[in-house]
Structure 1
């Protein structure tokens, strides 16, 4: 039986985890920083599907557009969402015998049916693993295996990759194809058409989540629903177990309206055209798009005056970019910060008193503290150290990975974020750097360990280390420091050769566009761990 590893239940055999205190999990209680906002309601009695959809069939919302695809023109009303959610849930429950311990993977770009699929899986008490649509066959198959996926939902545009990956995983029993309105409606033999699920009729339809999810309040808090794969603070991607309670907490900390999205590849001119046509007042964007709005000449051809607020997240937003874009568009910009392990938000500026360069104060019912990286001592205002977060949105743990869970999540519920941060006298937090090894490329996470593992498979490579270099457009780019084998032909094994070799095997954002540096040795500690800090210091000197 698959269960997420919860640190409160996990116990290591033979030894006390003394490293928790030495790594600053305890700290000084009097220096914990509380959220300045009123706390959220803690007594949660409904699962996410019921909570989210409670008024979707009401006279106020039923016929109102819930989501619009700017690429295809498709729309869904709230009533459409509710019907699709319950029909798909019934089909999964009755026809495909989906159980509370099963996993469903969702491999799709932005799609107007994405939400009801996720909620339908939640109604069955199962886990849904959303997977980056840029994933390669190898990347997808690894996640399917590690998550023990039983059913794979795949968009028609991604079907060749999905089918090849699924063929490598014995646990995948069905592939459900989400049709593409712009291509041939016929689907591959042996697959299931999503429309047959969305129109499924049963004499006793599943209209609420199974009892395993909400039989007791503790079930809501501890029953896993979302399973995004994240590299967390270090290492290879791990399944982040987020419960119904985690997600409900973050939903109560936020609110939303009609959503306009695009299922096609992002294009700045298309984005500007949609803003001019539909006149949204708020835009949730990542820094590379905000940079384009601040610098690209095409922006002058469109009326973007409807946007009153841009919310930036997923990667740090530079002060210069923020200031430039504000001035050009005449809009306000506020930052937020979070991570998959936080469902995902930890801090957020309010509309009325956002501070430039700050990611804002803590979310409601959330606590934070800053610990000295070397001593683990709690620090006060304006003293930089590692940021730790505690709140109802903190994940349950990593799927089937006790060791990695214990490395970042304490028994008292404190999550080590791996981010260097400080807060000012008013409780506004500022992210200054990352202790963790993650590389952020256009807001996508790239794990150095994953690229290193791949590059080491090249027959000419003896050793490798990957770190980030700064890039104005992408934020950061991966750079590989490579030690070649003595037998390698230097005329054959060039920088371009290795870049192309990696390019064939990874998603576009994981390519080593930061370049390849050939070196005689990789700096390592006495225990053999790569000293990325040494390489990052070299990069800093290079880009001063």
Structure 2
């Protein structure tokens, strides 16, 4: 055994053996018990059975086949967490195509940049998003057909491209290495990239989450999964959609992930496992919302995307009456890297490595594994690691090693009992309440303003949101900070809006022209500390 092998940390659980894809699992369960619930709309009460979901998804697959959709071809999908999202995704997969997951909350310009990376021939959107998709396709110079998923009374939204004669619920021809999804992430730095996830990735991730969630009472067909995390993001896709599909648990959807609506849906439908945005955990801990609902059925309240203080987890756990924990994951690892593993992890950790996952803790400068208990960059390897970035060989090579290790860009250390502690982020990604903000994307928008010569965006520490985006701008004309902030706000999603704009004479750059972003980030952190100290003295 080499020195490097001796420092590989391994999950207590082996890799899933021949994990079943979400499509095969749904069709298996539809054949075994066709009238059992598959999905419940927490807002309207619409509750299609497994048989109906199988029929609808077959009709969608047939409609895509009529349009000549080929194996592995990306089909864009943009809608909130409605019952139609799982149905349409299953239909895309049954056609042998790949889900290109887009946020329904993005504007046309944001969506256009991502459509241009993938160039889908077909996009499916809910009615309120369809016009944005059409505008985005036009901006990107694409002739993308936009199918609208209308909702009929008592039904889930099904797109108008669905055929009338979907085939019987038979298994599609899916190979483990077929492309199943393209989910957008900022990787370890830079603008959003399309992460290519295979059928094997989704199946393995689903099995890993199921193992993780098997606390008291297990995680199986008798469980009820509350999908509070958006399906278009990796946490929602892996933990809130694919995992419950893999075990036959009905999925409760809520279109807008607001705390009160999610808690009400969990109580009304007796949810046993809830995957929610970080903000929900924080609001449960800071408000008296949870005790107003009967949450006695809950066994786990799970979140991810950013570090949750131990005190928040403990208070939230007490209020909902079950473990409330954050795990560790990233889009490049489909969904989960570590978390609870059949038992709750310690609140100051992100849990144990997911089943079949290996990790190394590596010194960034030397590239060697660090000594036990020492912090270093977290590298992971496992069946959930992405195929690569769509159309970006260079970025893939910078993130994945030749022998399959994923460089996460996160700083962490491993405890003796196998739990992982995240210390800090090495990457430049800003996380606002767990939502990702790529500095390069905001900078690109700023530089489109005629009064901006140069711009740099960093995260400023914020006690309520974790971080907030702040811009340092070198002007090329007359524009006030307010005007520039409003310019960005009109083009980007709410969590990407600038909290502050500073007008500066120049930005720190190396002789090569590379932006020395860490210098700007350090200034903002120092300013935040001074402001916090001044507030405490008053």
Counterpart for residue 36 of structure 1: 12
Whether 2:513 is the aligned partner of 1:528: answer yes
- Deviation, 1:397, is 0.7
Aligned counterparts of 1:351 and 1:208: Cα–Cα separation in 2: 31
Q: CA deviation at 1:448?
A: 0.3
Q: Label 1:196 to 1:541 Cα distance change in 2 as closer, same or farther (>3 A).
A: closer
Inter-partner Cα distance in structure 1 for 2:136 and 2:93: 24
Correspondent of 1:228 among 172, 175, 183: 183
Task: Pick from 362, 380, 383 the counterpart of residue 374 of structure 2.
Answer: 383
CA distance in 1, matches of 2:151, 2:467: 33
1:295–1:139 Cα change, 3 Å: same
Taking structure 1 as the reference length, what is the TM-score of the superposition? 0.85
Q: What RMSD, in angstroms, separates the aligned Cα atoms of the two structures?
A: 2.3
The 3 A distance-change label for structure 1 pair 393 and 300 is: closer
Could you tell me how far apart the structure 1 residues matched to 2:514 and 2:187 are? Answer: 18
Alignment of 1:310-349 (within 5 A): 310-349=301-340
Cα displacement (A) at 1:195: 5.1
* Cα distance, 1:199 vs structure 2: 5.5
Aligned partner (choices 117, 125, 130) of residue 159 of structure 1: 130
> Contact 2:304 / 2:326 at 8 angstroms: preserved in 1?
yes
- 1:471 is displaced (CA, Å) by 2.7
- Hey, what does 1:86 align to over in structure 2? 58
CA distance in 1, matches of 2:429, 2:195: 16
**Equivalent of 1:140 in 111, 117, 130:** 111
Which residue pairs with 2:394 in the alignment? 403
Match of 1:500 in 2: 486
Aligned to 2:29: 55
Distance 1:494 1:297, change over 3 A: farther
Q: Which residue of 2 aligns with 1:190?
A: none
The SS at the match of 2:457 is strand
Residue of structure 2 equivalent to 1:6: none
- How far off its partner does 1:309 sit? 2.0
Task: Using the TM superposition, give the Cα deviation of residue 411 of structure 1 relative to its aligned residue in structure 2, in angstroms.
Answer: 0.9
Distance 1:181-1:194 versus aligned 2 partners, 3 A rule: closer
Q: How does 1:112-511 map to 2 (within 5 A)?
A: 112-169=83-140, 171-180=142-151, 194=158, 196-198=160-162, 200-201=164-165, 207-210=170-173, 213-214=174-175, 220=176, 222-255=177-210, 256=244, 257-263=249-255, 265-485=256-476, 488-489=477-478, 493-511=479-497
Q: Write the distance in 2 (CA, Å) between the matches of 1:27 and 1:344.
A: 30
Higher relative contact order (CA 8 A, sep 6+): 1
Contact 1:102 / 1:126 at 8 angstroms: preserved in 2?
yes
TM-score, normalised with respect to structure 2: 0.85
Given that 2:257 and 2:276 are in contact with CA atoms closer than 8 Å, whether structure 1 keeps it comes out as no
Tell me the CA shift for residue 347 of structure 1: 0.9
1:96 aligns with 2:51: no
TM superposition shift of 1:206: 8.1
Q: Give, in whole Å, the separation in 1 of the partners of 2:159 and 2:77.
A: 15
- Offset of residue 254 of structure 1: 2.7
Cα displacement (A) at 1:307: 2.8
Q: Specify whether residues 230 and 247 from structure 1 end up closer, same or farther in structure 2 by C-alpha distance, changes over 3 A only.
A: same
For 1:393 and 1:415, locate their aligned partners in 2 and report how far apart those are by CA, in whole Å.
Answer: 10
Number of residue pairs the alignment of both structures matches = 489
Does the 8 Å contact 1:176/1:194 carry over to 2? no
With over 3 angstroms needed to count, the CA separation of the structure-2 counterparts of 1:347 and 1:298, relative to structure 1, is closer
Mapped contact 2:285–2:312 kept (Cα < 8 A): yes
Secondary structure in 1 aligned to 2:31?
coil
Specify the alignment match of 1:8 in structure 2.
none
Deviations 1:348-404 (A, max 9, x none): 212424211211111111110010122111013321111001111111111111100
8 Å Cα contact 2:62/2:163 also seen in 1: no
Give the whole-Å Cα distance in 2 for the aligned partners of 1:353 and 1:324: 15
CA displacement, residues 149-189 of structure 1 (integer Å, 9 cap, x when unaligned): 0100011011221121233455444211011469xx9xxxx
Shift in CA distance, 52/527, structure 1 to aligned 2, threshold 3 Å = farther
Shift of 1:124: 2.4
> What is the alpha-carbon distance in structure 1 between the residues aligned to residue 205 and residue 37 of structure 2?
23
| Pairwise CA distance, 1:266 | 3.2
Whole-angstrom CA distance in 1 between matches of 2:339 and 2:291: 30
Offset of residue 510 of structure 1:
1.1
Unaligned ranges ≥5, structure 1: 1-25, 186-192, 215-219
- Secondary structure in 1 aligned to 2:111? helix
Sort the Cα spacing of 1:206 and 1:271 in 2 relative to 1 into closer, same or farther, 3 A.
closer
Q: How many angstroms does 1:297 deviate by? A: 4.2
Return the alpha-carbon distance in structure 1 between the equivalents of residues 14 and 73 of structure 2.
Answer: 37
Runs of at least 5 residues in structure 2 that lack an aligned partner in the other structure:
211-243, 530-538
